[in-house]
Amino acid sequence: MEHAIRRARGILEVKGGSMQSAPHITGATRLYVLVGDPLAKAKSPELLNRLFLKQGAEAVCVPFGVKADDLSAFVTGARAIRNLSGVLVTMPHKQQMLGFVDELHSTARQVGALNVIRCDDDGRWIGAMFDGLGCVLGMEWKDCGPANKSVLLVGAGGAGRAIAFAIASAGARTLTIFDVDERRADDLAESVTAVTGCRTQFGPPDPRGYDIVINATALGLNPEDPTPVNPDWLEPGSIVVDIINAPELTRLCRAALARGCRIQDGRPMHEGQAVHTLRFLGFEYLPEGRPAPDTRLRSAPTQDVP
């Protein structure tokens, strides 16, 4: 064969009839996986694999598309993989995965969800949650920090829960949470108030009167999705944060720009998550030009899962 066939973005290469594996993958390579469904737009494998190559790490990250009903089967198989060092967890598994780990980092205990698992050499899985800390770090990088601000958060799922605790802990003046499941949002507001002391309540998705509006729902993943708040009610000068990490601006961000708002798309949160997550997994990563976050997170206490 005179032509070259590349598969899996260079992991397998066929040239002149011979097969060659990528030089950074050996018998000692450590495996990191991203588990979720769907994963077509996931950015984490690309980011991690670039970092591993840059640092010369014997590691690779691979996406595993796993439906909610198949999570238990995935965990059973993954537990048997001796060179598995970490699992990145995304929708729809962030809360269900709590039942499959041995210990919880303080971030996951507080939130009741996780987005990363460190698989230690002794076989124990330790789960942590950095959605919230990543969101706040991204906001601070963009000079949009929540300290002394009134905040409206739309969405009280796994990511929303993490962001609520992080926003309140970062010094928000007030926090209002809306979710289509009113009971879930109300329970979250009570928990955030009890843990952080921030004045937090359930309220409607009306952005008027808030310094910061955050979309923590999946609305925006598809171009035809409605906006999580009425864009005509966005106030000029307010900050609109959309955690959707898409190549193009979401409908909410475009509407906010048209209304004279400052916007932050999902990329800063994604980068902030990566900083905390990779440190938890034992790697150092910092986007160019960004200051480092607090260094105490990796040593934060863990607790066995009952």
Alpha carbon distances (Å) from 237 to 43, 78, 213, 258: 30, 48, 11, 11
Locus of tokens 């955050």: 214
Tell me the C-alpha distance between 303 and 119, whole Å: 15
**Residue in 15, 43, 54, 94 annotated catalytic:** 94
Render 114-163 in DSSP notation, one character per residue: -SEEEE-TTS-EEEE--HHHHHHHHHHHTT---TT-EEEEE--SHHHHHH
94 is catalytic: yes
Beta strands per DSSP E along the chain: 5-7, 12-15, 18-21, 30-36, 59-65, 84-89, 103-105, 116-119, 125-128, 150-154, 174-178, 199-202, 212-215, 239-242, 262-264, 302-304
Q: Which positions are annotated as active-site residues?
A: 94
